[in-house]
Amino acid sequence: MPLDVISTVPFGVILVIVLGTILWTYSKKNLSPDSFFIALFGYAFISIIAAFVCQQDLFDCMRLLCIAIFYGGTLLLFGLALIAFKKNYKRTAIILLTLVIIVIGIGIDAFLVEPKCLETKTISVESEKITSPIKIAVLSDLQTDKVSDYEKMALQKVLDQKPDIILLPGDYVQLNAAGNWQERELEIKKLNNLLAELKFSAKSGTFAVQGNVDDPGWTRTFKALPIKTFINTSTEEAGEVFVTGLSFEDSFNPKLKIPSTDRFQIVFGHGPDFSLGKIDADLLVAGHTHGGQVRIPGLGALITFSSVPQNWGTGGFFEIRPGSHLLVTTGVGHERYHAPRLRFFCHPEIVMINISPKARAH
């Protein structure tokens, strides 16, 4: 977790809870091995209450909980381990030190390693509606607050695949709207310049829709670039296929209706909720969920901020109806501003969809 996060949350509250828990444990007259774990549960309970009391919103609550776990938790476990050694509870001390290593390891992976582990995933499907192979690149949720070599690398990875069509399902630059307009405009300009420098385009078209962190004037991100932006829901021809880009509102409409066509049709938007509607299209594409950013093995994403089934929101490629597939990508970036900047068991990704001609049945 970046150190600047500490200065923007009540870190002192967590420190007071940690020190209070250590002092309570050390001063306990009838100290036993169970006392250490009672102290841990007490710390967790008080920290959760503090997070909900001090939070500005849900993301701020998550951030405070992360500080309680990875900063306060590490300090507390180490302090309790020292007490356990001093009181000759060596087995308990070893358990506590093992937990210190686990917490530190998870923190390093979640905050420093996985957010940069960008993968390129490839999906293959067949369709009777096309006569030549089509390669589609999906790059969603760049969601940067500082355009850097990481964003350049992600964009270049897309171009290296030489796609026929590029889809950008929203969330390009995220900065707090209040008091950061100049900084936001600077990063938007930097992203625009980077796209121009890389000649970011595809031969059959590059298409972009609005995400929920993009302001009403979001199309300036692509000013003077060969990128088609969709403010309102509409359809464009892209080689052999039709591409329907959804407005921000329509992408979150679970009752949306899109009629079928005799051409291969792609419908894409920021949120995946539209896939619950009557969308008679061959390929549906969305981002927004980030795959949850944190996935628990065996459970998947705990929060996706979407009304689609939890396994869809966790990210992946699904046949939701016969002949109709949905891609929900985990995206390239992650939540910014005052959200925890982490990924756990949820790597960022670029997705390539290879559509091949399928012989018609006779």
Q: Which CATH number do you get for residue 173?
A: 3.60.21
User: CA 238, CA 29: separation in Å to the nearest integer?
Assistant: 76
Taking the CA atoms of residue 353, residue 227, residue 197 and residue 151 in that order, the dihedral angle to the nearest 10 degrees is -50
Q: State the Cα–Cα distance between residues 331 and 141, nearest whole angstrom.
A: 5
d(CA 221, CA 334): 19
Burial 93-107 (b: 16+ CB within 10 A, else e): bebbbebbeebeeeb
Average pLDDT (105-109) is: 97
User: Would 312 be classed as within a structural domain?
Assistant: yes
CB 304 within 8 A of CB 347: no
* Rounded mean pLDDT, 235-244: 96
**Per-residue pLDDT at 302:** 87
Shared domain check, 206 and 271: yes
Token pair of 9 as six digits? 């949350």
State residue 107 phi and psi, 5-degree precision: -60, -45
Residue that terminates a domain, selected from 99, 114, 129 = 114
* pLDDT for the residue 338: 82
Residue 201 contacts residue 226 (beta carbons within 8 Å): yes
Token pair for 338: 């005052």
Are 136 and 275 in the same domain? yes
Q: Does position 71 have pLDDT exceeding 60, yes or no?
A: yes
Q: pLDDT at residue 189 above 60?
A: yes
**Distance of alpha carbon 295 from alpha carbon 70, whole angstroms:** 17
pLDDT of residue 50: 86
Residue 77, pLDDT above cutoff 70: yes
What is the per-residue pLDDT across 329-350, written as a single tens digit (0 to 9) for each?
Answer: 999 999 988 889 999 999 999 9
Domain final position from 81, 114, 147: 114
Q: Which residue has the higher pLDDT, 359 or 245?
A: 245
**Alpha-carbon Rg for the chain in angstroms:** 24
Residue 147, domain member (yes or no): yes
Q: Quick check: 244 and 267 in contact, CB under 8 A?
A: yes
Last residue of a domain, one of 70, 99, 114: 114
Task: Give the integer Cα–Cα distance in Å for 234 and 208.
Answer: 12
Q: Are residues 87 and 67 in the same domain?
A: yes
Calculate the CA dihedral of residues 173, 175, 181, 186 and round it to 10 degrees. -50
Res. 2 pLDDT band, cuts 50 70 90? very low
Average pLDDT over residues 280-290: 97
- Residues 76, 138: one domain? no
Task: Indicate whether 108 and 141 sit together in one domain.
Answer: no
Angle between helices 11-27 and 58-67 (to 10 degrees): 40
Q: Report yes or no on 362 lying in a domain.
A: no
Asked if 63 and 340 touch (Cβ cutoff 8 Å), the reply is yes
**Whole-angstrom distance, CA of residue 306 vs CA of residue 309:** 8
Q: Say which amino acid occupies 214.
A: D
Tell me, yes or no, whether 188 lies in a domain.
yes
256 pLDDT above the threshold of 50: yes
Q: Are 314 and 290 in contact (CB under 8 A)?
A: no
**Tens digits of residue pLDDT in 194-226:** 999 999 999 999 999 999 999 999 999 999 999
130 in helix, strand or coil?
Answer: coil
21 in any annotated domain:
yes
Q: What is d(CA 76, CA 335) in angstroms, rounded to the nearest whole number?
A: 28
Q: Is the pLDDT of residue 289 over 90?
A: yes
The tokens describing 298, both together, are 């065996």
- Token look-up 């959760």 returns 48
If one counts the domains in the chain, the total is 2
Tell me, yes or no, whether 160 and 20 share the same domain. no
Q: Are residues 169 and 247 in the same domain?
A: yes
Q: Are residues 89 and 181 in the same domain?
A: no
Same domain, 195 and 86: no
Residue 61: domain span: 3-114
Confidence of residue 6 (pLDDT cuts 50, 70, 90): very low
Instruction: Verify that 28 and 73 share a domain, yes or no.
Output: yes
Of 339, 353, 357, the closest CA to residue 145 belongs to 339
**187 within some domain:** yes
**Is residue 133 in a domain?**
yes
**pLDDT of 118-157, one tens digit each?**
999 999 999 999 999 999 999 999 999 999 999 999 999 9
